Amino acid sequence: MRKWAIGILIVLVAAAGIFWATADKDLRRLILNLPTDRDVLFWSIAQRDAGFRAMDRMPVLAKSRVISAGKNVYPLPVGEPLEVGVDVDAYMKDQRTAALIILQDGKIRLEKYGLDFGSGPGRRWTSFSVAKSFTSTLVGAAIRDGYIKSIDDKVSDYIPDLRGSVYDDVTIRQLLTMTSGVKWNEDYGNPQSDVARFNAHKADPGVDVTVSYMRRLKREAPPGAKWVYKTGETNLIGVLISSAAKKNLSDYLSEKIWQPFGMEQSGSWILGPTGHEISGCCMQASTRDFARFGLFMLNGGKAGGQPVFPDGWMAEATGKQADTNLPGYGYGYQWWTLDDDAYTAQGIFGQGIFIDPRRKLVIASNSNWPHATDLQGGDQGKKRLTFYRKVQQALDSEAKAKQ
């Protein structure tokens, strides 16, 4: 027993040494605040400030997989500075924003960094549920590539371990739109909620951890009848894509978008305990590359000059497919939709990509809000939407002045 304990200690010390060696000077200043547990939802603000920029390098978390970048980088030329009409520094302080980039017509109109973000453009940050929109994108790619026949296929046709569960009657479309009718609790403040417990679930032998947890759930509404936000079901989508394409999500994303579109840096995707990417969460990338993903969508979903999606996918994915319980927001295929045809990828604690096709506008931001969402306290989400509207108004005024 003593030899075993000493061996474990040596492994932990070695892992900590590797982490320290790969951490830059700005991160080392925060090192004492790094969390020592996996319960991300219940880290302190100081722990999140440190952890969100290093989740794929923290020994306490599961392994991650690299999303490889290519040699050619999609350029982001600097355009005319944008006068938003608000105090951007004060806005970022209130939002606890680490990085904010506004692209308009493919040019950087504003770029600022906060939270002691050090080297700025080179720093990566975790996405949280922004990853859901990347996962949705890979469904579109898998349909065009012939790996998935139709989003009206049953989920259990692609994940045999779900057969005999409530998911026998659920389609891929209903997973994409969060309308499966399966009962789920996404309360980020409740340690007993499904979203807090499912990644720590002990998987049935030989079964993916998410599949093992989700197949035990019960039904609360007929499929397609009720919208409920469920991170676990996005994780199921990730398992489905990997099973259909016979590729892990990181490699598939690199193949279809990251390399051909021209992301500047390699990203990473944290893995669950049974080896699949946590597809409802936990990608790491620079804020500039998150903004480039917005440009990929603005450019019609083409990478390297080639379409990634089947015909009609973009309009369906980014259009309202389901009503939500949040005023002003609808839901598409893992995208939040707005009434003016803009749409967003959103992650807890203030991560986001806002895309407005009419104004050729992308706003990418990464933050560490005091609370996960406005439902847990505060009004950072409401203020962020107000900021988006201010940017739109500023661009409209600018265009009018040039007429």
Residues 160 and 21 in one domain: no
| pLDDT digits 0-9 by tens, 242-268 | 999 999 999 999 999 999 999 999 999
Domain boundary residue, one of 22, 43, 66 = 66
Do residues 152 and 175 touch, judged by C-beta distance below 8 A? no
Residues 360 and 284 in one domain: yes
Domain boundary residue, one of 66, 99, 119 = 66
Residues 46 and 104 in one domain: no
Residues 271 and 339 in one domain: yes
Nearest to 385 by CA among 377, 356, 372: 356
Residues 357 and 226 in one domain: yes
For residue 125, give the H/E element and its range.
strand 124-126
Residues 81 and 210 in one domain: yes
Read off the pTM. 0.91
Do residues 337 and 324 touch, judged by C-beta distance below 8 A? no
Residues 113 and 224 in one domain: yes
Residues 388 and 279 in one domain: yes
> What pLDDT is recorded for position 6?
37
**In the predicted structure, residue 317 carries a pLDDT above the cut 90:** yes
Domain boundary residue, one of 66, 94, 118 = 66
| CA 335 and chain centroid, separation | 10
When mean pLDDT is compared across 196-205, 266-275, 374-383, the lowest value belongs to 196-205
Residues 34 and 126 in one domain: no
Q: How confident is the model at residue 110 (pLDDT cuts 50, 70, 90)?
A: very high
**Structural domain count, the chain:** 2
**In the predicted structure, residue 2 carries a pLDDT above the cut 90:** no
CATH number of the CATH domain containing 268: 3.40.710.10
Mean pLDDT over residues 344-348, rounded? 98
> What pLDDT is recorded for position 372?
94
Cα gap 112→114, rounded to integer Å: 7
| pLDDT digits 0-9 by tens, 279-293 | 999 999 999 999 999
> What pLDDT is recorded for position 26?
53
> What pLDDT is recorded for position 122?
81
For residue 173, give the H/E element and its range.
helix 172-176
Residues 131 and 278 in one domain: yes
**In the predicted structure, residue 163 carries a pLDDT above the cut 80:** yes
> What pLDDT is recorded for position 54?
87
Cα gap 25→43, rounded to integer Å: 22
Cα gap 240→139, rounded to integer Å: 9
Mean pLDDT over residues 49-61, rounded? 83
**In the predicted structure, residue 11 carries a pLDDT above the cut 70:** no
| pLDDT digits 0-9 by tens, 355-374 | 999 999 999 999 999 999 99
Cα gap 255→70, rounded to integer Å: 10
**In the predicted structure, residue 394 carries a pLDDT above the cut 60:** yes
Nearest to 138 by CA among 227, 229, 285, 250: 250
> What pLDDT is recorded for position 31?
58
Q: Structural domain of residue 61, as residue ranges? A: 2-66
Would you state the torsion angle of the CA atoms of residues 278, 280, 284, 285, taken in this order, to the nearest 10 degrees? Answer: 140
**In the predicted structure, residue 7 carries a pLDDT above the cut 70:** no
> What pLDDT is recorded for position 34?
76
* pLDDT over 90, % of the chain: 79
Q: How confident is the model at residue 21 (pLDDT cuts 50, 70, 90)?
A: low
Q: How confident is the model at residue 61 (pLDDT cuts 50, 70, 90)?
A: low
DSSP-derived secondary structure for 63-75: PEEEE---S----
Do residues 345 and 337 touch, judged by C-beta distance below 8 A? no
Do residues 100 and 320 touch, judged by C-beta distance below 8 A? no
Residues 170 and 62 in one domain: no
Would you state the torsion angle of the CA atoms of residues 330, 334, 340, 342, taken in this order, to the nearest 10 degrees? Answer: 160
Distances (CA, A) of 295 to 166, 181, 298: 38, 33, 5
Cα gap 69→273, rounded to integer Å: 25
Q: How confident is the model at residue 29 (pLDDT cuts 50, 70, 90)?
A: low
Cα gap 88→18, rounded to integer Å: 37
Q: How confident is the model at residue 30 (pLDDT cuts 50, 70, 90)?
A: low
Nearest to 195 by CA among 332, 379, 373: 373
Number of residues written out for the chain: 403
Q: How confident is the model at residue 327 (pLDDT cuts 50, 70, 90)?
A: confident
**In the predicted structure, residue 101 carries a pLDDT above the cut 70:** yes
**In the predicted structure, residue 68 carries a pLDDT above the cut 60:** yes
Residues 197 and 235 in one domain: yes
Positive or negative, the CA dihedral 275, 191, 27, 99 is: positive
